[in-house]
């Protein structure tokens, strides 16, 4: 498509992460509606990000594992022909803390007993707190306002006593969230974990991995979409002021479509005009809406 292309589609998806692309895939398979996806960055996959080292070894930066309760994701992988494998790494593992690295069978071989006990106490408390949050109405949880005003990082610092155990728990949350625990509310995280039905954060969340890396799911859909996907196309303007049309502008071009097909109900849709100055990173932390930076690197050793 040309740099200033214009198109009209039934469904326009903003964001080529796993959620946006899975929605586009469902529409594409249905064959009853046209679909187009626009993505602000130069790649697809959102929090999932494969990276191949010069040696040819594939590592994953960001989302890596799936648990047995993530049935939609596992079904999507099967639908696309992306195979799964055990999420438990085999062989040696690098364990590092305080600038010292060792290659061991399990981190517990060298980790201080005191740190292990501190971690286990904090994790048990965190999991018990998860169970106090109703999945259908998290705002009714005991002390919901207090939990929402506190970041996950605040809670970790208040409930761990040793630097090493604090680093472990922070790492666990980073793996689940794919971002900085200081930039998301504690209530949001508790609800997220409770909704996923993780009975034990360590044992169930990492049961499976995807052959070719988790980003292969998004790459697979992107390949099927072809030119129905634009990269490097942040939405710089969204105009909903017209009764029967929504217009979206990106540096790659513009797109538009009818807001819905419900006749007079279209009059109930709020009228908005939005123009954004898109930046690559938020300069102000927001505890209730996470601005994620993918910095986890994992691999089988």
User: CB neighbours of 21 closer than 8 A, spacing ≥ 6?
Assistant: 13, 37, 44, 217, 218, 221, 222, 225
Q: How far is CA 24 from CA 20, 227, 231, 295, 301, in A?
A: 6, 13, 15, 27, 35
pLDDT surpasses 70 at 289? no
Q: What's the 3-state SS for the chain? A: CCCCEEEECCEEEECCCHHHHHHHHHHHHHCCCCEEEECCCCCCCCCCCEEECCCCCEEEECCCEECCCCHHHHHHHHHHCCCEEECCCCCCEEEEECCEEEEECCHHHCCCHHHHHHHHHHHHHHHHHHCCCCCCCHHHCCCHHHHHHCEHHHHHHHHCCCHHHHHHHHHHHHHHHCCCHHHCEHHHHHHHHHHCCCCCCCCCCCCEEECCCCHHHHHHHHHHHHHHEECCCCCCEEECCCCCCEEEEECCEEEEECCCCCHHHHHHCCCCEEECCCCCCCCCCCCCCCCCCCCCEECCC
Reported as a single tens digit per residue, the pLDDT across 153-163 is 999 999 999 99
Reported as a single tens digit per residue, the pLDDT across 166-206 is 998 998 888 777 678 999 999 999 998 888 766 555 556 77
Instruction: Measure the CA–CA gap between 236 and 14, rounded to whole angstroms.
Output: 11
Reported as a single tens digit per residue, the pLDDT across 260-274 is 543 344 343 444 455
Reported as a single tens digit per residue, the pLDDT across 58-104 is 888 888 888 887 889 999 999 999 999 988 766 677 767 777 777 76
CA neighbor of 176 nearest in space, from 205, 138, 211:
205
Query: Residue 259 — pLDDT band, cuts 50, 70, 90?
Result: low
- The label of the residue with tokens 């040793």 reads 162
**Alpha carbon of residue 17 to chain centroid:** 8
Radius of gyration of the chain (CA): 22
Q: How confident is the prediction for the chain on average, in pLDDT?
A: 79
Could you tell me the pTM of the whole model?
0.67
Residues 32-52 have a mean pLDDT of: 93
Structure tokens at 280: 């690559």
pLDDT of residue 174: 82
């Amino acid at each position: 498509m040309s740099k200033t292309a214009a198109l009209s589609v039934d469904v326009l998806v903003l964001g080529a992460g796993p959620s946006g692309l899975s929605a586009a895939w469902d529409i594409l398979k249905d064959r009853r509606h046209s679909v187009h996806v626009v993505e602000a960055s130069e790649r697809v996959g959102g929090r999932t990000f494969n990276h191949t080292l010069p040696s040819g070894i594939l590592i994953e930066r960001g989302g890596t594992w799936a648990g047995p309760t993530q049935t939609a994701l596992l079904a999507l992988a099967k639908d696309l022909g992306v195979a799964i494998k055990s999420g438990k790494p085999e062989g040696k593992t690098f364990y590092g803390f305080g600038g010292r690295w060792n290659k061991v069978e399990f981190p517990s071989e060298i980790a201080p007993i005191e740190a292990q006990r501190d971690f286990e106490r904090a994790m048990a408390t965190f999991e018990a707190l998860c169970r106090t949050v109703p999945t259908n109405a998290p705002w009714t949880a005991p002390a919901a306002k207090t939990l929402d005003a506190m970041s996950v990082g605040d809670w970790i610092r208040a409930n761990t006593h040793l630097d090493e155990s604090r680093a472990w728990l922070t790492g666990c949350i980073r793996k689940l969230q794919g971002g900085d625990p200081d930039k998301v509310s504690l209530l949001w995280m508790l609800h997220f974990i409770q909704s996923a039905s993780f009975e034990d954060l360590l044992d169930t969340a990492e049961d499976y991995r995807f052959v070719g890396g988790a980003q292969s799911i998004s790459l697979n859909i992107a390949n099927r979409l072809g030119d129905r996907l634009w990269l490097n196309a942040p939405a710089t303007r969204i105009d909903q002021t017209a009764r029967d049309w929504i217009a979206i502008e990106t540096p790659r071009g513009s797109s538009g479509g009818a807001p819905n097909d419900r006749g007079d109900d279209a009059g109930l849709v709020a009228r908005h005009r939005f123009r954004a100055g898109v930046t690559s990173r938020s300069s102000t932390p927001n505890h209730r809406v996470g601005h994620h930076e993918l910095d986890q690197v994992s691999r089988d050793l």
